Structure 1
Amino acid sequence: MGLFVTGAFAQTTGSIEGVVVDENNVPLPGVTVEATSPALQGTKVAVTDTQGKFRLVLLPPGSYTVKFTLSGFAPTEQTDIKVGLGRVVTLNVQMSSAFKEEVIVSGAAPTVDTKTAEVGVNLDKDFFTNLPIGRNYASVVRVAPGTGNDAAGVTVYGSTGAENAYYIDGINTTGVELGTQGKVLNFEFIQEVQVKTGGYQAEFGRTTGGMINVITKSGGNEFHGDVFGYYDSDAAQAKPAADVNYWASRLSRSYLVDGYTRKDFGFGLGGYFIKDTLWFYGSYDYVKNDEDRKVIQDFQALARQYNAHDYGFPAYGSIFTNSQTRDLWSAKFTYRLSQNHSFILSGFGDPSKTEGPIRGLAGNPDSFMGTVDEGGTDLVAKYEGVFGTNWVVNLLAGQHKEKSNEGGRGLNQVAFIEYSNPIYAQTGVVPVWDGFGFAQRQEFGRDVYKGDVSYFLNNFLGDHEFKFGAEFEDISVNNKNYNTGGQRIYGLCRGGYTGDGAQPCGREIYYRHRFFMRSFPSSRFAITNADILVPLVVDSKSENFAMYVQDTWRLTPNLTLNVGVRWEQQKLFNSEGKVNAKLNDEWAPRVGVVWDPKGDGTAKVFAHFGRFYETIPMDMVIRSFGKEITAFTYNYHGAREEDPSTRYNVACDPAVDAFRRCSILGHDFTPVDPNLQGQYIDEAVVGGEYEVMKDLAVGAKYIYRDLGRVIEDALGFDQGYYIGNPGRGLLRESWDMNYERSYPVPEPKRTFKGIELVARKRFSNNWGMIASYLWSKLEGNYDGTFQVSTGQLDPNLNSAFDYAEFQVNNKGYLSNDRRHQFKVDGYYVFPFNLTVGLSAYYRTGLPVTAMGYSIAYQNWEYYLSERGAFGRTDDEWEADLHLDYPVKFGGIQVKFLADVFNLFNRQGEVGRNMRYDLGEDYTPINYDTGAYEPPIKPGDADRPPTNPAFNTPNAWQSPRSLRLGVRISF
């Protein structure tokens, strides 16, 4: 089991180095060092220099045997040396006189890596396949200390789930549009996962969160393979602790999952065409997930109660099945031209299709029934070479592809989104008639070219590993945004909801028409039906370039300095092929120091400082540089119209019709502050680690992360968006929603402070484990590129600074703040071959904030209280169990698998309803005076919550469930 870290080129290999001495600790030159492994083609050979030093590079992850021979000395062999992704294993070897027998040492690799200040873990397949985790490799990542989760993905030390970088076989597979996980990969295909959570060197960038590095399986000198299958369904799930109708009465949901089946089966085969020269590996996994969704609101009855049209609502209790199929595959060819030169070709894909309800079930079937085609293919070509004894070269070219295309009848129909309907007032569910409302058809690509050169130098100043590298990414997007049928129409209440039955709107209803425009009409405030654009097409790109230089300098045998600097550049193009934004000043220094106080590789004290820049995802190119001009018309009516067809008229000319008004938001291309600077975090880590006994290390560290600068957009005086650095330049001020006054924009703040304790046990004596405890505090006014507080994922274009109202009272504990987190993952193999794996965690709750409804955005955007003023959600804990038992038939092993999730069936809350009101639009600014309203506090008698479900649970842990599987290996 590999649970260790180091630094190297988003690596697919590791290395072994060290010093060979005689019985008197005198360095031995001329010693032949040979490394062999089932993961290695042929043998890697090195010879010690005049100082007794050796180095073996470009070693695929695996278990190695290293043999040392020299005339006049007994051969010495060390076995079971675990080499991980990017890990530098240090071996200090003492050879004895030839009159003694051969010396064989097992498991001699050190547990503590004394060459790097990096923070994170390496997890090999023997570890994560023995844990009860999800089938997607992202489930493996959450084992790493410092990680958590939010709705966007894996969180790392205060950064949101949309701030990580994901690499597979050396290529960047991060989601092109939003910066989330961009590739689904079954862990059956994976050899090892490396999770870097901090302290990494200058060769790594493009992330303000963590870096996830994955290598897929390779072939070998023997044929080996697996056939596997997994199955689980609601038949093996415990019943929900709460009655479904009780849940339905309290949640803003149109359905609950009534039943499901999940199954996947596949195979993998690896071997050789030519032993030690040409290897292959291929695998395939068919995945099918069916989910029965049951309508839990009696929409038809509510419509009859309030004399409102239901327009084809599904009946209460109706079942709609969402069905998703995936065809996952992976392939790799490894060609060894010679001992020092190798070529690797790999590919993997995750095409999928979803059919059935792709929206909520509040509306007629045309508003939610459809299809989604997703996924894509990645191809990678890599060269690894050693020249002489001092030079190592890595070159890579690759292509990442993604698509997500929505289809169905709703794509061509106008959607009526009825916030004014009494169903919304009673249930919190927004009824939608006919079309989808908003839909996308997207294709993304990322062409990657990168390389690095390492030079090893030994002199009187110590040992150096200089590394120089560069990388270039050419990213393309072809995006079609639809306001389905040409426009979206919202029914809105100008006041709150009275709840008096016949007319739930406290004031008159109006209809807001929203549609895209390619350019401004002849009069900015005169709009006709001819201005509607279907769809809005953006065909554009961005270019990312980076260079770095770094030195791993071992000043003395027990003191190492990691120093480097990285420079990044990003160009974002508009839909006319011109550069609309350019970031050219992104210098990121990295400095780390590691001290081995005992000098024997069993302990280290380390410190690291680094700056890490974000790479802006393509969401900005699509929305800001693709001529997304959004037009609105507002048609007022004193009461609900019985004939919805009259709502289609969007024509608006205030000079002619005083009862209608219209507005346009946006520009042809969003203006960018000419002094725009990149978004980054600064990080400092200080810690220590000590091997308390063989294979068991414990450590402690302090982590500090500060969000130094942010890129976002805001609305200016002309109702157009501007992109800049909030609190600086063009975004020093923002306007209120009435455009009466401007207000200063506060600088974004996000500060993470944490103390973490970690225990890591390498697998030996039948067990292995990693456990961690983290105390932390996350404060500020900005969650990150994923705006957790409002649920918005528009990286660098979130609503956080759009209007002055959205920053009032916005300070305190951020949405992902948890004070205490403990987790343990490990497994034990009994003498009778039964394997038991356990994953368990305990964590304190999240802050609860009173959020207010903004009618402009149809969402709860206002901070009516300061963040966290209403306490926290309940503490959470859970344990999952893995069992497997092998049965052998000749050369075939059949392993029976069972995973029990939520072993104790604890269905505790994991979320609270933070909507303080039901749509009253309580703005936090007094428009008459321009003064900010004071924050609401618990028990505020003058401003009590109007939402009866405020600060009550609205999400729970899933009931206990069972997944069964079988894996046949040969």
Structure 2
Amino acid sequence: MGTYKVTVKRDGAVVEARDNVAITVGANTDVSFAANAAGSGMQTLDSVTVSAASLTTIDVSSVDTRTVVTAEQLQQLPLGRTAEAIALLAPGVVVNSGGFDNGPLGGSLPSFGGSAASENAYYLNGFNTTTISNNLGGLTLPYGAIDQQEIFTGGYGAQYGRANGGVINQIGKRGTNEWKFGAAVIWEPNGLKANQRDIYWRPDSQGSTINNAAYRYARAANGLYQPASEAEANQTTYSAYVGGPIIQDKLFFFLAAEQVNSDGIRVGTNRDTDNGRTGGLTDYDYKQKRWYAKVDWNITDNHLIEVTGASDVAETNGSIYRYDYLARERGAYFTDESTWKTGPTLFTGKYTGYLGDNLTVTALYGKMRTPDELTPFNYDAAGGPVINSAALQNPAYTGGTPRIGNQLVSSVSSPDREYKKDNQRLNLEWRLGHHTLNFGIDNQKSEGIDVGSILSGPGYAWTYGQTNDPYGLATGGLVSQSANEAGGVGAPSPGLVDPVNGSSGYYVVRNINTSLYSYEAKQRAYYIEDKWQVTDNLLLSLGLRKDEFTNYTPFGDPYIEIDNAWAPRLGFSWDVNGDSSLKVFGNLGRYYLGLPLSAVSLFTPATTTDTYFTYSGINADGAPILAQQLGSAVSANSRFGRIADVRTAVVKDIEGENQDELILGFTKQLDSGWVLGVRGTHRRLNAGIDDQNYDVSNTALIDAAAAQGVTIDFSKVAGASLINPGQTNTWGVIGTDGQFHEVSVSREAAGFPKFKR
């Protein structure tokens, strides 16, 4: 890859040459010369050199939809220095609507053709670097180390998978026989940026007499929700690179490094910060350190070895201050943020062997590690529980001044928290007449080590609340609609249980959250693809990929196994005029998406419960003087710390998330040098995966079980089950008879509409 000069010689003399011939990843480049340039009847001429770039022809050897951006183009284009900003150059790619970024200092994640930000895949020199925990983003290169970036917006071949959206494939630079080096400093001061606009509550909230939290926050700040115009951001980027030969023609290296220093002011929303326990303004200081190293060894002309290392680690911290939303003024120092250090580091090795003129084998193995360290500032384990929503404490017991206690750290995580990924890829390319056959495997193992957290202090927190409906007249007598461990729903309203202390609507909740486990997932794939040059003008691409997905509980038991994910890929490219000036193309394929590691949280013996109480007073440290308990503990996700039968965690014969995609289009070279392209894309999401709770709100399941004479024992099943929404699902349940039963629930009975996007 890169830019080359191509020459035609006769008897050692240059007859004709082409400069600035660009070779891009995954594409062919046509270099045409005069018909008699090398013929036996040609005239003897002095050399002819074409210095200007020739008119670029259309690549008729590809059937997918991709955009390739080269290092030369990146030097010329005014872009943000992220892979995501580059991806926005491709048609059909926009910024995601959920506000997701690629790490603390990464770019806003892209959406390809309406897909979710978590449905994309990232590759770096052939290794899948997609974020292990949640599929949001991936490891990318320092800007100066990018040789080329492929952006697949659809129709990609069988070698790519585990994505319903798009693929960002980065190719890093490599050393050559010529020494190259450089450095740059980019300064982006806040004073040269426009201010953001402030955000306000809805107009009627300021004058409302309704006594709920949202309106109280609005009235306290004259309707201001977030003073975004007060935010500041300064950023300085330092980068450098060097590359060259270690041994001429044999051994080369390339090294690049980049550091981004970002500091400024961040002001939170008054709803998030006006609870008496946290500050509102943060002086933050972020650092992002990236590096990339590559060594290429040409053992012989036919045997090559590449070793790649890359890292993208961010560290964030800041000082938190009180903030007066009415006066828009910084207050007293409150505390420091926890220091967060996270980001992946990757090492890969790749072998390429040219075994004759028609056979090429490539083998890649790599490991990626992502430490995720969160270090609390001045954490005191003996400092008592966290006091949440202190602004909702009963003022009769506080005199109107919230009591927040001494604990400023809400939760703690393991210092050994880490994610790991191993990826093995093997590809065999065999050129047989008019066929180019590719066979390959693509195996991946992902792990989460000590993932999760526990609440600080004694392992629980207190959260204060208040309702304007203390007797639950509008809520069926319930202050909470979450499930209890027996399968019932909700906690009774405070006024019903304790008229003395609950009639005012004030209550407190004891929160318990313990979820700290290790687990893994394995993904395997096998593929075959034939690029068949049927005629000089017609190319067919016939591919088939088989994906297998297995996710495991912390105890090593598989809770989901999908091994029948067959994904055909069919495409064509028609060189209409035979001169690469007009291409008509199309593609039809199926694409599967595996579950991220984070899905396992539904099936660990985690505890996330809320127990409601009335109270008759508040101690100086913010802890309540409890009066009466409002029913048993409840959990929004039915996580009561029990180890459930994994057969109840996933419906029978669950279908992996997949979509079908059809693309038709054409590309035409215009006389002016412009290229006109038109394409249409239709995507149909066939199946998705979601979770649904086991509790009495799941009436369709309870009724279907009852029709079979089965009463579900909610203490024996999982907190929730993975299902295919919008389809008939066969649940696995444990009955009160102690036996396992299969219960089928139709889409109509479950109240699901037909699944579509």
Do both proteins adopt the same fold according to a TM-score greater than 0.5, normalized to the shorter chain? yes
Distance change (3 Å), C-alpha of 1:455 and 1:553: same
Whether the 8 Å CA contact 2:87–2:110 is kept in 1: the answer is yes
Q: CA separation in 2, counterparts of 1:715 and 1:387? A: 56
1:484 equivalent in alignment to 2:456: yes
* Distance apart, 1:205 and its partner CA: 0.7
Pick aligned residue for 2:260 from 279, 287, 302? 287
Structure 1 stretches of 4+ moved >6 Å: 70-74, 243-248, 358-368, 430-433, 731-734
Q: Does 1:185 align with 2:141?
A: yes
Cα deviation, residue 417, structure 1 = 2.6
Is 1:134 aligned with 2:80?
A: yes
Alignment partner, residue 620 of structure 1: 599
Equivalent of 1:201, from 157, 164, 184?
157
In the aligned structure 1, how far is the partner of 2:586 from the partner of 2:322? 49
User: Relative to structure 2, which stretch is displaced further, 68-77 or 611-620?
Assistant: 68-77
Pick the aligned partner of 1:546 from 510, 525, 542. 525
> Partner of 1:139: helix, strand, or coil?
helix
User: Are 1:122 and 2:68 an aligned pair?
Assistant: yes
Measured against aligned partners, the alpha-carbon deviations of 1:662-714 in whole angstroms (never above 9, x if no partner) come to 23513525611231111011111111110012642111011111111001111
Per-residue deviation, 1:508: 0.9
Alignment match, 1:508: 505
Against the structure 1 CA distance between its residues 69 and 239, is the aligned structure 2 distance closer, same or farther, given a 3 Å change threshold?
closer
Q: Residues of 1 paired with 2:512 and 2:227: CA distance?
A: 26
Q: Per-residue CA shift, 1:311-361, capped at 9, x if unaligned?
A: 5x65xxx85311112221111111111222211111111222211259998
Provide closer, same or farther for how the CA distance between residues 209 and 410 of structure 1 changes in structure 2, counting only shifts above 3 A.
farther
Q: Does 1:371 align with 2:371?
A: no
- What's the counterpart of residue 583 of structure 2? 604
Distance in 2 of aligned mates of 1:132 and 1:648: 61
- Deviation string, structure 1 residues 49-95 (Cα, Å, up to 9, x no partner): xxxxxxxxxxxx20122334577998443332211111122445533
Q: Separation in 1 of the partners of 2:263 and 2:352?
A: 44
Paired letter, 1:346:
T
| 1:519-538 equivalent positions in 2, closer than 5 A | 533=514, 536-538=515-517
Q: Tell me, in whole angstroms, the C-alpha distance in 1 between the residues paired with 2:197 and 2:622.
A: 45
Change (3 A) 1:592 1:747: farther
What does 1:313-328 align with in structure 2 at a 5 Å threshold? 314=279, 320-328=282-290
- Report whether the alignment pairs 1:447 with 2:447: no
C-alpha separation in 2, matches of 1:111 and 1:750: 39
Indicate if the aligned counterparts of 1:633 and 1:662 stay in contact, CA closer than 8 A.
Answer: yes
Task: With the length of structure 2 as denominator, give the TM-score of the two structures.
Answer: 0.76
Task: Find out whether 1:340 has 2:310 as its counterpart.
Answer: no
**Compared with structure 1, are the counterparts of its residues 350 and 606 closer, same or farther at alpha carbon in structure 2 (3 Å cutoff)?**
same
1:350 is paired with a residue whose SS is strand
SS at match of 1:445: strand
Q: How does 1:248-263 map to 2 (within 5 A)?
A: 250=223, 252-253=225-226, 257-263=230-236
Distance 1:244 1:659 in 2: 36
Contact preservation (8 Å) 2:281, 2:322: no
User: Aligned pair in 2 of structure 1 residues 69, 707: CA closer, same or farther (>3 Å)?
Assistant: same
Residues 201-224 of structure 1: CA deviation (Å, up to 9, x unaligned): 111111011000001111111111
Q: Which amino acid aligns with 1:403?
A: P
Contact 2:141–2:170, Cα closer than 8 Å, also in 1 = no
Tell me what 1:704 maps to: 682
Deviations 1:543-595 (CA, angstroms, capped at 9, x unpaired): 11101001111100111111111000011111112222111111101111111
The answer to whether the aligner puts 1:64 opposite 2:70 as a matched pair is: no
Distance verdict in 2 for CA 1:154–1:220, change over 3 Å = same
Q: Which amino acid aligns with 1:272?
A: P
In structure 2, the residue matched to 1:493 is 466
Cα deviation, residue 250, structure 1: 4.7
Number of the residue aligned with 1:99 = 43
How far 1:648 sits from its partner (Å)? 8.8
- Please say which of residues 709-718 and 664-673 is displaced more in the overlay: 664-673
Deviations 1:781-835 (A, max 9, x none): xxxxxxxxxxxxxxxxxxxxxxxxxxxxxxxxxxxxxxxxxxxxxxxxxxxxxxx
What is the CA–CA distance in structure 2 between the aligned matches of 1:693 and 1:359, rounded to whole Å? 62
* Residue 655 (structure 2) pairs with residue 677 (structure 1): yes
Distance in structure 2 (CA, Å) of the matches to 1:506 and 1:226 = 72
Q: Post-superposition shift, 1:455?
A: 0.7
Q: Give, in angstroms, the shift of residue 631 of structure 1.
A: 2.4
Asked if the contact 2:467/2:505 (under 8 Å) is kept, the reply is yes
Please give the alpha-carbon distance, in whole angstroms, between the structure 2 residues aligned to 1:561 and 1:73: 39
Q: Report the residue type matching 2:721 in the other structure.
A: Y
2:665 alignment counterpart:
687
Aligned to 2:95: 149
Amino acid of the structure 2 residue aligned with 1:553: W
Which of 159, 169, 172 matches 2:128? 172
Q: Contact conserved, 1:120 with 1:145, CA < 8 A, in 2? A: no
More displaced stretch, 380-389 vs 135-144: 135-144
Identity score, percent: 21
Q: 1:295 Cα shift?
A: 7.0
* Aligned CA distance change for structure 1 residues 601 and 243 (closer, same or farther; 3 Å): closer
CA RMSD of aligned residues (A): 3.7
What is the CA-CA distance between 1:252 and the residue it aligns to?
4.1
Which secondary structure state, in structure 2, belongs to the residue aligned with residue 565 of structure 1?
strand
In the other structure, the counterpart of 2:541 is 562
Is residue 278–residue 333 contact of structure 1 (8 Å, CA) maintained in 2? yes
Change (3 A) 1:240 1:160: closer
- The structure 2 residue matched to 1:331, chosen from 279, 287, 293, is 293
Equivalents in 1 of 2:27, 2:268: separation in Å? 52
Of 264, 273, 276 in structure 1, the residue corresponding to residue 246 of structure 2 is 273
Q: Corresponding residue for 1:77?
A: 17
Q: Kindly indicate whether the alpha-carbon contact (under 8 Å) linking 1:74 and 1:98 is maintained by their aligned counterparts in 2.
A: no
Specify the alignment match of 1:393 in structure 2: 361
Which residue in 1 is equivalent to 2:385?
A: 414
Q: Distance in 2 between matches of 1:672 and 1:243?
A: 42
Structure 1 residue 443: deviation in Å? Answer: 0.6
In structure 2, C-alpha distance between the alignment counterparts of 1:436 and 1:729, rounded to whole Å = 45
Q: In the aligned structure 2, how far is the partner of 1:445 from the partner of 1:358? A: 33
Contact in 1 for aligned 2:435/2:531 (Cα 8 Å): yes
Deviation sequence 1:132-164 (CA, Å, 0-9, x none): 322222221111111111212110001011111
Instruction: Return the letter of the residue paired with 1:663.
Output: V
SS at structure 1 position matched to 2:632:
strand
Length-normalised TM-score, structure 1: 0.60
Q: Which amino acid in 2 is paired with 1:728?
A: Q
- Kindly tell me: are residues 146 and 368 of structure 1, through their superposed partners in 2, closer, same or farther at Cα, counting changes over 3 Å? farther
3-state SS of 1:556 partner: coil
Name the CA distance, whole Å, in 2 between partners of 1:124 and 1:263.
Answer: 24
Corresponding residue for residue 726 of structure 1: 725
Gap regions ≥5 residues in structure 1: 1-60, 304-309, 424-429, 498-504, 517-532, 651-656, 735-741, 752-970
Report the residue type matching 1:692 in the other structure: L
CA gap of 1:731–1:162, structure 2 versus 1, over 3 A, is farther
Amino acid at match of 2:510: H
Stretch deviating more after TM superposition (704-713 or 399-408): 399-408
- State the AA in 2 paired with 1:744: A
Q: Is the 8 A contact 1:196 1:212 kept in 2?
A: yes
**Aligned position for 1:38:** none
Aligned pair count reads 632
Answer whether contact 1:367 1:436 (CA < 8 A) is retained.
no
Q: Which residue of 2 aligns with 1:466?
A: 437
Any residues of structure 2 matched to 1:629-640 within 5 Å, and which? Answer: 629-637=607-615
